[in-house]
Amino acid sequence: MFRPFRSPTARPSTLGVEALETRDVPSTLLVDDDRQQFRSAPYTTISAAVAAAQPGDTVLVARGTYREQVVIPAGKDGLTLAADKPLKAVIQAPATTTGSKAVVEVDGAKNVTVTGFTITGPTDAAAGVLVDNGGSARILSNDILDIRRNPLDGVQLGVGVVVGGLTAAEGVGTAVVADNTISGYQKGGVVAFGDGTSALIAGNKIVGVGPTGVIAQNGVQVSDGADARVIDNDISRNAYTGSETFASGVIVTGAGDVTVAGNRLTSNDVGLFATDTDGVRLLGNEVRNSRSTGVFLFDLSDAEVIGNVVSNSGRAGIFLDGVTDSTVALNESRANAGYGIGVTGPSTGNTIVGNTAHGNKADDLFDDTTGTGTAGTANTWAGNRFRTATPDGLR
């Protein structure tokens, strides 16, 4: 901060000069592990540069491998952590992590940016990047790889990016998670957790390990009151070969305000699964080759399932169980091994209109509810294009 300086004997009319008390102009702090790229770099570890940085500074990291956990604490607001060469600066997790067990943690700092890194395990880390304790961050254009134990096991941790903490004690977070490649994780690609947490998860490539009996993975999870927009991601290969549970491309459970739109979901057990989240919106997604159901809604109300294309599912294309007062419209459900669109259980007051269902091995349209709706069901069916239906009066 600059302010006028006056001598004790100066007259009021004397022009003041300015004395520098604190550094207001953001600086760039250079980090180079071997000082080959930045020969005069004052720091050889990222953590040392972060500790020295002031709010608004940039920590610029040369290519190399940095085996450390990086914590950006409260008070380092506006900090940018950037790789000088995209993906050439590697933050390698220690084999044994401490503290929050994150490789990179935004621990209460606001408006932080983390961009251009390769952040990798294998490790016992709970998260590759964690935004918690009221922190906010943009996590952009990183490769976040192998956040898992070695060998992969059934411990329910190991997530590429966590927004809001893995427990309520870690508080909430806010983040944009965009244009990253996230693969080789143990439990999940991106998790938004906790009432008060908010995340935009967009443009990422998220790849599970493929069919495994070790752990049921989820590409994206939004849960426990978190709000999120999950938009334009490629999410694939989350598949569990064990029994009594399933993996998901996107799972929304007990969440807040959630929109899942424009994603491409391929070769997951369930492409999109939503439960206990009223008002969820599933819009314009492409769901292919799900090992089980393509789009599965369970025990919720006021959902919108609009404009999705679901094909080649191992069971139903779109399936509603215990869903009320929701709209299923303008979807295409084709070549699924089960129903094209199925409604069952205590599902009432739903409107299923303008959909196309064809080439499904079971009925294209199916509803086993009872009520005052179409064909004696508890729901309204109208304007759908199909070949087979149960009961016959669905339309």
pLDDT in tens, 228-255: 999 999 999 999 999 989 999 999 999 9
The average confidence (pLDDT) of the chain is 93
3 or 55: which leads in pLDDT: 55
pLDDT score for 25: 82
**pLDDT confidence bin for 24, thresholds 50/70/90:** low
Read off the pLDDT of each residue in 305-329 and give the average, rounded to a whole number.
Answer: 98
Read off the pLDDT of each residue in 353-371 and give the average, rounded to a whole number.
Answer: 98
Residues 6+ apart with CB under 8 A from 125: 93, 97, 101, 102, 103, 147, 157, 158
pLDDT score for 13: 34
- Alpha carbon distance 24, 2 (integer Å): 8
Residue with tokens 């209109």: 353
Between 18-27, 32-41, 133-142, 197-206, the lowest mean confidence (pLDDT) is in 18-27
**pLDDT confidence bin for 23, thresholds 50/70/90:** low
Is pLDDT above 60 for 6? no
Is pLDDT above 90 for 50? yes
**pLDDT confidence bin for 99, thresholds 50/70/90:** very high
Is pLDDT above 50 for 5? no
Domains and CATH numbers, the chain: 62-292 (2.160.20.10)
pLDDT score for 3: 32
What is the share, in percent, of the chain residues with pLDDT greater than 90? 91
pLDDT score for 171: 83
pTM for the full predicted model: 0.93
- Alpha carbon distance 260, 274 (integer Å): 10
**pLDDT confidence bin for 258, thresholds 50/70/90:** very high
φ, ψ of residue 341 to 5 degrees: the values are: -135, 120
- Alpha carbon distance 332, 352 (integer Å): 12
pLDDT score for 339: 98
Torsion of CA 220, 222, 227, 228, to 10 degrees: 10
**pLDDT confidence bin for 165, thresholds 50/70/90:** confident
**pLDDT confidence bin for 22, thresholds 50/70/90:** low
254-258: which pairs have CB atoms within 8 A and are 24 or more residues apart?
A: 254/223, 254/224, 254/225, 255/192, 255/222, 255/223, 255/224, 255/225, 255/226, 255/227, 255/228, 255/280, 256/195, 256/225, 256/226, 256/227, 257/227, 258/222, 258/227, 258/228, 258/229, 258/230
Read off the pLDDT of each residue in 159-172 and give the average, rounded to a whole number.
Answer: 85
